[in-house]
Structure 1
Amino acid sequence: MASQFDILFERKRANIAEILVHGALCWVHGDKVIHSLGDDPLIYGRSLMKPFQMKVFKDELKDFTAEQQAISIASHSGTQKHIAMAQSLLKQSDWGKLQTPISAALGGSDEQSRWHHPCSGKHAGIILGCMKKGWPTDNYLSQNHPYHKAYMSELEYAMGLSQQSLIACPDGCGLPTLGHHVSDLARSFSYLAKTSDSDWIWSAMTKQPWFIGGDNRMDSDIMLATQGKVLAKEGADGLLGLAIKDESYPEGLGVVLKVAHGRDEQTMKLIAQKILASLGFDWQVEECNQEQVAYVSDSILP
């Protein structure tokens, strides 16, 4: 599998590389790949796909607050404020419908519950949307549920290809996650930028970025710094998706990063910083490692 990835980043001590980070990266404008690294590996979309999972319910959630809409797309840190916002999507009598695994908060907590799970807001949004559409809620995790079929249709619009033959398996939250090529994921983020005014997804995420992640979370911090021009979403095991509004890319710019060995927050931040800087955005990342010098490969840029 390593052959599918290229070197994105290295750390050197006195000009000798001590750490090499491999990965894949793709830039898409509209439906055209304009730059890529790696052999376009097949990977699971994980939480990058939450904006599309909630597009199924763009009408059902359109009259809710931006905070409530944002929590439905979140991989939240599990603070009491996050949990309260997720719970606000449902009547208390419907809380028992939640099927997220019992979990501690991403931000650290001794307490565990289904609501502490980072995907609880998404599940609450799905339950709400299903009830409004008249769909059953007891089996919303199933690939055969009407929700999943509607989600597949949303992906077909975003990626421009059939989703019927894709590999699927349960994600950490229990809902199916699908295997996509990195280029298809980047294409979907280009679609988010191009269609930013078509529903509440872009507005909710970029106006309420804290609810998407939380304090010191990469996607939240990127959106806060770029003031509505970049939509960012993290995914488990080394994923970052960026949807970017830029006059040079009128069809929408999508950039997706996959780190081969999984989540490596500092490396991912430094790569994202270089991508954003190349587009004129000033997002500062503090370098934590003072013993080695970090080098982000110039080949990540077109």
Structure 2
Amino acid sequence: MKLVKTVAVLSVAFAASSVFALPKGFQANPTGATTESIQVERVKHIGVTLENEGEHKGKASIFVSDNKAVSGTPEKGIANNKPVSFAKIDATANRFFVKTFAHGILGKDKNGVTVANLYRMKGIVWDNIPRMPDHSHLGRLSYSKVGNMDVYFGDWSAVPSGAAVGTKGTNYTAFYSGTGRTTNLPTTGTATYTVKGINQYHTQNTALLNGTLKADFGKRTLNGEMERAGLNVAINNATINTAQASFSGTATANKVAGTTHGHFFGNQGAAIAGVADFGRNHAYNTAFGGTKIGK
């Protein structure tokens, strides 16, 4: 009886939520990016895009590409070939039934970070939810929202279906994805942004990085750093492209050299989001975002 009730409430929350893969030929979101990872057809990987249907059409989204996954319930198929917006994931996570019965699978933690342990959607309960495709091959996704904008940053890893909680997985990737890129970025003056960074967020309540970034719009430079115990990520004189409302340049993590790139969002660069990419030293790869201090 308990199983029947659990299946019923989870069915309401998750049915028809086929998510996280990109249809062939679908266009990537130009105001988002991922750090370096293995992105070939035979390896599970992510990208950023826009939702292409439903009430969240046009919103910032993510997809997981994996053409090798095999469903444990072939009649229902795999949850693939559809991008999904972060707004849709948040709406699902906020449903009473999900908060009550599946918060460990999908929910927002004390840091305000949404953690989706999709690889745990496996077993008798999940297999018996009507019309719900198999989500268990989609790995682990963690992300945070920038202010009240449709802008998100986070990380993902390919965790095997049914793995233990906290399994790190493979092909670790940091990302940001947003809409509302700035079209009137200032050409003079400065702005300071309070930012948070996500790195290796494999379980709920992992420590965030905290820091500030300073944009000098006249000199077209971006500098600053963020840190937590054991990790310091600094952006070193990155170049701001005013026309594109973007930035790119060098970064360091505990003195390891890397690169950074990202965008400004909102009126006159009200918010910022980006990634710091350290190539083969992918354990340092960090996504970050934040809002301007003051006006």
TM-score clears 0.5: no
TM-score when normalising by structure 1: 0.30
TM-score when normalising by structure 2: 0.31
Q: Decide which structure has greater strand share.
A: 2
Q: Decide which structure has greater helix share.
A: 1
